[in-house]
Amino acid sequence: MSKGKKIVKFISSLVTSILMVVLLVTLFMVVITKASGNEANLFGYQIKTVLSGSMEPSFKTGSIIAIETGGDMTRFQEGDVITFQTEEEIIVTHRVIEVNEEGQQYITKGDANDGADMNPVLSENILGEYTGFTIPYVGYVMNFANTREGAALLLIVPGVFFIGYSVITIGRTLRHVKKLVDKEEVKAD
């Protein structure tokens, strides 16, 4: 096999692998998110999308972060990053800067904010603690994938490419097999 054909075969295999991984990861994330009511929850960890820049540079807008749910919600100390629900039912992830009343209330602040949050966070409003796991910009894709159009686009387009590529590969293989069969027939005559 020539060097050019080896390179084409390698690139072909690489493209196939990338398409398959993208398709499977997207499918997995969409199914997990939809099954859990738009909260991706896996082994006690929830995946959250960062929608504001209040915690930059710790994590950028559009990142996904993992939070560990459950446990004693009065355990947090200054410097811990917690995710909580506000009175307006907004989910926020900020850093604890002060602990009041033996862990029953926390004063929080976004790293990029000038001052502390207006209201203390009650321990019963805490959803979990940031684990240190962040992937930048994936949150944009996850939010888009949670829309009807996004799920269709992110699942169907890679699927169509994968099927099209498979049809081309099968066609090439059949042509190659036909050539081998024709050669054998010529030898037999």
Q: What is the pLDDT of residue 173?
A: 87
**Whole-angstrom distance, CA of residue 152 vs CA of residue 169:** 25
Q: What is the mean pLDDT of each run of 10 residues along the chain (189 residues)?
A: 79 80 71 62 77 88 87 88 91 92 86 91 90 84 77 75 84 86 74
Identify whether 52 is a catalytic site residue.
Answer: yes
**Whole-angstrom distance, CA of residue 24 vs CA of residue 88:** 36
Q: Per CATH, is 40-138 categorized as 2.40.10.340?
A: no
Q: Are strands 40-42 and 45-49 parallel, antiparallel or unpaired?
A: antiparallel
Helix (H, G, I), strand (E, B) or coil at 26: helix
Q: List strand residue ranges (DSSP E) for the chain, in order.
A: 40-42, 45-49, 64-69, 81-85, 91-100, 105-109, 121-122, 126-135
Q: What is the pLDDT of residue 161?
A: 79
Q: pTM for the full model?
A: 0.64
Q: What is the pLDDT of residue 95?
A: 94
Q: What is the pLDDT of residue 97?
A: 93
Tell me the Cα Rg of the chain.
25
Any idea where the domains of the chain sit in the sequence?
1-38+146-172, 40-138
Q: What is the pLDDT of residue 34?
A: 62
Q: What is the pLDDT of residue 110?
A: 93
Which one of the listed residues 13, 17, 52, 166 is annotated catalytic? 52
